[in-house]
Amino acid sequence: MSPAAGRPDWPALPRRKQSAGRPRVFALGGELDPRTRWLFRMASVVAPLAVWWLLASFGHVDPKFLPSPGAVWHAGVRMYRDGVLAHDFLASVERVGKGFGIAVAISVPLGVLMGSFRAAQALLEPVVGLLRYLPASAFIPLLIIWLGLGEKSKVTLLVIGVVFFNTLMTADAVRLVPRELLAVSATLGATQREILLKVVVPHALPSMIDAMRVNAAAAWNFVVVAELIAATSGLGYRISRSQRFLQTDRIFAVLVVIALIGLTIDVLLRLLRDRVGRWIG
Amino acid sequence: MTLVLKGVGKDFAARGRVIHALDGIDMSVCPGEFACIVGASGSGKSTLLSLIAGLAAPSRGEISVAGVPVTGPGPERGLVFQTGALYPWRTVERNVAFGLELLPLSKQDRAERVAWYLAEVGLTEHRTALPRQLSGGQRQRVAIARALACEPAVLLLDEPFGALDVQTKEDMQVFVRRVWQDTGTTVLMVTHDVEEALFLGQRVLVLASDPGRVATELRVDLPAERDLEVKRSPRFLALRSEVEDLVRAHHRAQLAT
């Protein structure tokens, strides 16, 4: 290869026009001042509510199809006063607590193993990766045949819906632990077991809680689905019962409660994650 | 002898081909010595250090520390990485305490040792800081203190200052010299920086590439007490040219093949 002899006499490169200064809100990765951010956040909740209210009030929609926010509020208050709401709420929360708890208790150790040992990964990843694509809701008929209509089938549905995803996501979190950290721990005298407990788990914990956050939302979805199909209590049951009497205001009220509980779970887990993951900064 | 390597070699299999990363390495390090290994990138110097640390097993040959064959990693061969590899969720003092927490020591004994090493590396006032709050140089000091707290027979340094800016690097070189003199620890350091190797080492081993082997070794006949001024002395500059030429020659020879 001969060296290039001087730079050829190319014409100057065409220049692109500099973009005009645009509001920072639209700049990629731009900062947003706290006031604007709060404004946008408010709008995100208020705007849909306003559309709902406008449609219900002036849209000439039959209130049997779309009850007004006010009517939903009253339906909710009535259900609360009758005690059904608290009863259904507790029934659903108990199922989520059991099902999600069992799923976490299975998936975290399994995920840590899969993330730490190649053998465990080779053994488990194909089957778990396959099973997670089977929609948990499709197991409902089988679960009813196997376990009946009681609590067992609902809790099992939750476990099926959560355990595979949470295992894979936990394994991913564990695989993100830098190899150098494992190596340096060994040179400081830590045994395999000590490295797992004192290095791998603490490093992966914030991401593991993140995975749980995502999957808690799924668990909350599954409990409602399970109760819609066969139950005598729970928020999903309340929805299907209200449907029979065309009580759409009650359905909406229950939906709002479901959303608020989901949000609460999310916020609590996020607070936990931020506390555990303070070191990430 | 603290550390002895006899006929050590390491092969890697890559795409069906066997690569001799290291071959026929014979070397030893005396108690209390500061030895440096220099070589161009690809000469297998980090591989050599990981073999000594016990993180990988040699394909051939024997490594022993104080007469005991190396079979795996252990605290008698403390290793410091270029990145420091600190535990990001542990404070400075709990990073230093890591190795001691694994041993049956009383809380007070452990705290005293941690405090001593923190003072030695000048980080007492940062003891409750998290690694992300430290500068690159401070992080390396923590990593060195953490390894030293386990009282290693030999401290292995793998390009510990490679990621630092020039000024910080020189401060760290002076710092490591002082720590070495204070603690009497045997040190084996790997670097591509010839100046650093000559400033710190009593002995410099030049590694040739493909396969990695000890090409030359020379005593650094500079005064035992050295400050940064020594880097401008004629003897230092002469040594530096000599070693740099050696490294370059072995690197070129490898590229030519």
Q: Angle A162-A164-A170 (CA atoms, 0-180°, nearest 5)?
A: 95
Categorize the per-residue pLDDT at A238 as very low, low, confident or very high, splitting at 50, 70 and 90: very high
pLDDT at A2 over 90: no
Whether chain A has a CB inside 8 Å of the CB on B53: the answer is yes
Yes or no, beta carbons of A183 and B79 under 8 Å apart: yes
Name the residue of chain A whose CA is nearest to B92's CA.
A279
Interchain contact, A187 vs B77, CB within 8 Å: yes
From chain B residues 154-193, the ones with a CB under 8 A of any chain A CB are: 156
Orientation of helix B107-120 relative to helix B92-101, angle to 10°: 130
Question: What are the tens digits of pLDDT across the range A76-117?
Answer: 999 999 999 999 999 999 999 999 999 999 999 999 999 999
- Pick from B124, B123, B147: which is nearest to B135 by CA? B123
Q: DSSP secondary structure string, A152-170? A: HHHHHHHHHHHHHHHHHHH
Task: Dump pLDDT digits (tens) for A161-215.
Answer: 999 999 999 999 999 999 999 999 999 999 999 999 999 999 999 999 999 999 9
Q: How far is A208 from chain B (nearest CA, A)?
A: 15
Contact with chain A for residue B99, Cβ under 8 A = yes
How much is the pLDDT for A24?
A: 66
Q: Does A176 touch chain B (CB under 8 A)?
A: no
Are the C-beta atoms of residues B190 and B163 closer than 8 Å to each other? no
Q: Which residues of B touch A274 (CB under 8 A)?
A: none
- Residue B199 CA to residue B35 CA, distance in Å, equals 11
The reply to whether residue A184 touches residue B54, judged by beta carbons under 8 angstroms, is no
* Three-class SS state of A118: helix
Give the pairing of strands B203-208 and B60-65.
unpaired
Round the average pLDDT of chain A to a whole number and report it.
Answer: 90
Nearest Cβ partner for A181 among B53, B87, B146: B87
Q: Which amino acid is at B157?
A: L
| Average pLDDT of the residues in A46-58 | 90
Chain segment A65-81, per-residue pLDDT in tens = 889 999 999 999 999 99
Residue-level pLDDT, tens digit, chain B, 257 residues = 889 999 999 998 888 888 888 999 999 999 999 999 998 877 888 899 999 999 999 999 999 999 999 999 999 999 999 999 999 999 999 999 999 999 999 999 999 999 999 999 999 999 999 999 999 999 999 999 999 999 999 999 999 998 899 999 999 999 999 999 999 999 999 999 999 999 999 999 999 887 888 888 999 988 888 888 899 999 999 999 999 988 888 877 766 65
Task: Give long-range contacts, CB 8 A cutoff, 24+ apart: B184-187.
Answer: B184/B32, B185/B32, B185/B148, B185/B152, B185/B154, B185/B155, B186/B2, B186/B3, B186/B29, B186/B30, B186/B31, B186/B32, B186/B33, B186/B34, B186/B153, B186/B154, B186/B155, B187/B33, B187/B34, B187/B35, B187/B154, B187/B155, B187/B157
Are residues A187 and B130, on separate chains, in Cβ contact within 8 Å?
no
| First-to-final CA distance of chain B | 36
Per-residue pLDDT of B52-111, as tens digits, reads 999 999 999 999 999 999 999 999 999 999 999 999 999 999 999 999 999 999 999 999
Q: In terms of CA atoms, which chain B residue is nearest residue A178? A: B85
Q: Which residues pair with B9 in a beta bridge?
A: B60
Query: Which residue among A187, A194, A280 places its CB closest to the CB of B78?
Result: A187
Q: Which residues of B touch A202 (CB under 8 A)?
A: 87, 89
Position A22 confidence tier, pLDDT thresholds 50, 70, 90: low
Using an 8 Å CB-CB cutoff, list chain B residues near A184.
Answer: 79, 81, 85, 143
Q: Rg for chain A (alpha carbons), in Å?
A: 26
Q: Is the pLDDT of residue A3 over 90?
A: no
Smallest Cβ distance to A188: which of B72, B89, B98?
B98
CB proximity under 8 Å: A 177-216 to B: 178, 180-181, 183-191, 194, 198-199, 202-203
